[in-house]
Amino acid sequence: MTATSSTKQPIILPGKDIVLDEDNPFEAMMSRFDFAAEQLNLDPGLYRILRHPDKQIIVSIPIQRDNGEIEVFTGYRVRYNAWRGTGKGGIRFDMAVTLDEVTALAAWMTWKCALVNIPFGGSKGGVVCDPTTLSDGELERLTRRYTSQIIETLGPESDVPAPDVNTNERVMAWIMDTYSMHKRHTVTAVVTGKPIEMGGSLGRREATGRGCMIMARDAMRVRGIPVEGARVAIQGFGNVGSVTATLLAELGCRIVAIGDKSTALYNADGIDVVDAVNWVEHHRYLSGYPAAEVIPGPDLLTVDCDVLIPAALENVITKRNASDIRARIIIEGANGPTTPNADKILDDAGVFVVPDILANAGGVTVSYFEWVQDRGGYFWDLKTVNSRLEKIMVDSFREVTTMAEQHSVNLRIASYMLAIERVAAVHRLRGLYA
């Protein structure tokens, strides 16, 4: 079934008061979109177009469970905007997946890809399920049936998935194989985040953390904080948090606090990140790591440090704790860690916030590299991947800071303004096909 419009009808026009639930990270994101659109004096017609998804697909996914019973799951794929190029965005398997959430995440991808100026639009997908209750065989059948149900929208030129919450390289391999079987030839570029052996890119796993490191380094330069010895606190020690911590430690920063779901740790002299990563490899979580003091989880965000990197969850910096934050720079590794009310408090306190759509865009940038390599059939070495990532992140940071200065707005609004303007420019050039 293909729906033609969002279930959440936008009724807001630029210049009008916006009443949104700030604790909903997706509404919070769209409130930034509205504010940036107003700053740009965006034409109301274009505003209406950009407030709607291109396409929303809802599918039923029947699979046979291992006990022989048939169960039917619900899946979504939303292509929010593909005017700048192929829709790009992950697929999540989670009980909390809703059409509204998938739509908002697809919009988020649209702005993120435009901001780093890669030729992609934004998409997102999801299946309402609890993957921990599915056997490997059930998960594979679910993935393949979902892929076949949305196959018309997928393709290297139209819509390219990637891993997201509870999906991984293996799920991408099943999607790629299912798509290729339907097409009767191997199509590597239909997904990114694949295993290296079947067309994945070197450097993809570390790309988001590497991008965060580059943003932290450049923000410190702008703010006149010496990188050598800078004190850094990081919430989340998974893919993004641990890679960012490792790379910043290599630059000479002192990682004074780290934390994950299990614990939060502090050591004023600096935590040995390689040792901590090694601990997590053997014990799954940081809990029990001996070479640091255990602190209450919420305190990790307010420890005395120069750079704070939320790299775990959304909505962790709110009006309730923003005024207690002592860091002078925040690099948003996670998506949506800061609420709009907290933005205001941080702005007033002069905290330099590098927003999520810029700070964590390294991942989608190397996904773009993977797609380019697959389509060209020619694979780059790690040095090439990293130096091209570096260039895109550095250029994007410079463009955002310039925009912020020109319009006297913070980096978040500047990022949205740049992204929206890029998408809007393509709409103006292409016109409206009737």
| List 125, 161, 259, 340, residue binding ligand NAD (CB under 6 A) | 259
Task: Please enumerate in sequence order all residues whose Cβ is within 8 A of that of 126, keeping only pairs 6 or more positions apart, or say none.
Answer: 75, 76, 91, 92, 93, 94, 97, 101, 102, 164
Specify whether 124 is catalytic: yes
Query: In this complex, which beta carbon is closest to ligand NAD, that of residue 159 or of residue 206?
Result: 206
Contacts with ligand NAD by CB under 6 A: the residue count is: 20
Asked if residues 234 and 249 have their Cβ atoms less than 8 Å apart, the reply is no
Stretch that binds ligand NAD, among 103-111, 137-145, 248-256, 328-336 (CB under 6 A): 328-336
Where does this chain touch ligand NAD (CB under 6 A) — which range of 92-100, 320-328, 332-340, 394-402?
A: 332-340
Residues ≥6 apart with Cβ < 8 Å to 90: 105, 124, 125, 161, 162, 163, 164, 165, 167, 193
Q: Which of 140, 218, 260, 370 binds ligand NAD (CB under 6 A)?
A: 260
Binding mask 185-214 for ligand NAD (x = CB under 6 A): -----------------------x------
Residue 369: count other Cβ atoms within 10 Å of its Cβ: 24
SS (H, E, C) 315-350: CCECCCCHHHCCCCEEECCCCCCECHHHHHHHHHCC
Q: Which is nearer to ligand NAD, 173 or 357 (CB)?
A: 357
* Region from 102-110, 137-145, 307-315, 386-394 binding ligand NAD, contact rule CB under 6 A: 307-315
Token couple for 131: 């993957």
For 145, the token pair is 């049936």
Q: Please give the Cα distance from 173 to 130 (Å, whole number).
A: 20
Binding mask 211-240 for ligand NAD (x = CB under 6 A): ------------------------xxxxxx
Q: Provide the total of helices (H) and of strands (E) in the chain, helices listed first.
A: 13, 13
Residue 318 found at the interface with ligand NAD (CB under 6 A) = no
Q: Which positions lie near ligand NAD, rule CB under 6 A?
A: 208, 235-241, 259-261, 297, 311-313, 333-335, 360, 363
Q: Catalytic residues, which ones?
A: 124
